[in-house]
Amino acid sequence: MNNRLKVLRAERNWSQADLAQRLEVSRQSVNAIETGKFDPSLPLAFKLAKLFGTTIEAIFLDIE
């Protein structure tokens, strides 16, 4: 699944490590989600949305 994590992260000048720390996951996990290798669970998607102050649909795009 495509997502806008990289863009949202860049807008805030956060590194993957910064985001990982805020999400309480490893940097590798942030990279896996960002590159679309792993689709996060609903609770983690909500956590991301809350962190970026937006909605889940604004982060994750249902485009193959």
Residues interacting with other proteins, by CB under 8 A?
A: 24-29, 31-33, 37-38, 40-41, 44
Q: Which is nearer to other proteins, 8 or 20 (CB)?
A: 20
Q: How far is the CB of 10 from other proteins (least distance, A)?
A: 21
Q: How far is the CB of 26 from other proteins (least distance, A)?
A: 5
Q: How many CB atoms lie within 10 A of CB 54?
A: 13
Annotate 16-40 with DSSP letters as a single string.
HHHHHHHHTS-HHHHHHHHTTSSPP
The number of C-alpha atoms within 13 Å of 7 and in the hemisphere containing its C-beta is: 6
Q: Which is nearer to other proteins, 4 or 23 (CB)?
A: 23
